[in-house]
Structure 1
Amino acid sequence: MLQLQYFNDEYDSDRNMRQSIVLKARVNDIEQAENAIFELTESLGTFFIQEDVYFNVPNGNLKLRIMHPNATLNAALGERGTITKKRRAFTMNDARIYLDDVDHVGQFIDIAVTLTSSEPDACIARAKEIRDHLKIDEDAIVPAAYLDMMMENLSFDDDPPSRKSTKSGSETESDDSVLNSREC
């Protein structure tokens, strides 16, 4: 079953919030994934490190992507956890593909197809087309956010001692990590 997530994730050139359909999957062979993405995008990608801090909110996830330390949201809401990842970004006209190496969680490929309000079904089809081109198996797709995987000790690394949980005993209920999901 393929679950696609809808996110308000970036601003366009007119400062309008852009929505994307996101597909995330485990990667077992990072070199093979890089080669397949290069074949598709003809790009070596852009490498950067991101730190995402998740905050306690009643529904969904509120995430701050850190470039500079900021204590305001932490003081107001309380921090759920932090994810640090090395990310390599590849861009196409209608999509972004990321190769992520997430501390204590594993390696993933993340496909984000820009959602056009008039054609959401076409965007879903495009995400599937990219998934098929990159030969991503259905069982590799993960519907959870990286923080949720880390908190539930769902590490896909070969090194089990590296798995850590930041979930306290009082946080036993399941978090709603999918803002809006649609099965395809």
Structure 2
Amino acid sequence: MMAAAGTGNVYQSFVRMPRNVEVKARVHNWAHTLKECKNLSESTGEIIAQRDVFFNTQCGRLKLRDFKDGQGQLIYYERPDLLGPKLSNYAISNTADPQGLEEVLTQALGIRGSVVKERLLFLVGQTRIHMDRVQDLGDFVELEVVLTDSQTPDDGQHIANNLMKSLGIAPEDLLTGAYVDLLQKDKGK
């Protein structure tokens, strides 16, 4: 039952953002990592061309992902810049006009940077494994363990750690931040 206007009762709705535990690492032996991803997923993977445009924000990261086929996604996420498995909260909205949306967001927020990559997607249980070839940056692997509502970040870290072992991801290969951060660091920004 709703309270009458002016009674001072305020209803707030809490929307829980989807969560995942993410790992990002440099790949030194593409052929070996690709073979392991194919074995774990029992598939050849799906090739996805992507251009991500990152916009200036006060907190978190906001990017527009253009799939180069007339489709895109606006993605906002909050994730600490730490090595190893880390919790990421995110929200995604699909768009059929990524170019138009990019123009509006550029005018409103300004562009922080962009990332062009070819991604191979593999699904292993509740984990999305991305093998990324990032223009001007190199080869990487990302693990995204998508958590259910009943799972804790520790559950996701356990799954990620097991996959890291299976893929031979060494601690010294782990990275912090997003690809745009690495590109800007390489350019001395």
- State how 1:67-82 maps to structure 2 within 5 Å: 67=67, 68-70=98-100, 71-82=103-114
Tell me, in whole angstroms, the C-alpha distance in 1 between the residues paired with 2:185 and 2:135.
14
Tell me, in whole angstroms, the C-alpha distance in 1 between the residues paired with 2:32 and 2:117.
20
- State how 1:12-161 maps to structure 2 within 5 Å: 18-67=18-67, 68-70=98-100, 71-120=103-152, 121-153=154-186
CA-based RMSD: 1.5
Tell me, in whole angstroms, the C-alpha distance in 2 between the residues paired with 1:44 and 1:129.
21
Tell me, in whole angstroms, the C-alpha distance in 2 between the residues paired with 1:128 and 1:83.
27
Letter in 2 for 1:128: N
Tell me, in whole angstroms, the C-alpha distance in 2 between the residues paired with 1:40 and 1:92.
6
Once the two structures are TM-superposed, the CA of residue 143 in structure 1 deviates from its matched residue by 1.1
Tell me, in whole angstroms, the C-alpha distance in 2 between the residues paired with 1:74 and 1:118.
38
Tell me, in whole angstroms, the C-alpha distance in 1 between the residues paired with 2:44 and 2:18.
24
Once the two structures are TM-superposed, the CA of residue 17 in structure 1 deviates from its matched residue by 5.4
Tell me, in whole angstroms, the C-alpha distance in 2 between the residues paired with 1:19 and 1:119.
10
Tell me, in whole angstroms, the C-alpha distance in 1 between the residues paired with 2:66 and 2:148.
28
Which ranges in structure 2 are unaligned for 5 or more consecutive residues? 1-15, 68-97
Which of structures 1 and 2 has the bigger CA Rg?
Answer: 2
Identity across matched positions, percent: 33
Which ranges in structure 1 are unaligned for 5 or more consecutive residues? 1-15, 154-163, 168-184
Tell me, in whole angstroms, the C-alpha distance in 2 between the residues paired with 1:59 and 1:131.
29
Number of residues of Structure 1 aligned to a counterpart in Structure 2: 141
Once the two structures are TM-superposed, the CA of residue 72 in structure 1 deviates from its matched residue by 1.1
Q: Normalized against structure 2, the TM-score is what?
A: 0.71
Q: Normalized against structure 1, the TM-score is what?
A: 0.73
Tell me, in whole angstroms, the C-alpha distance in 1 between the residues paired with 2:125 and 2:36.
17
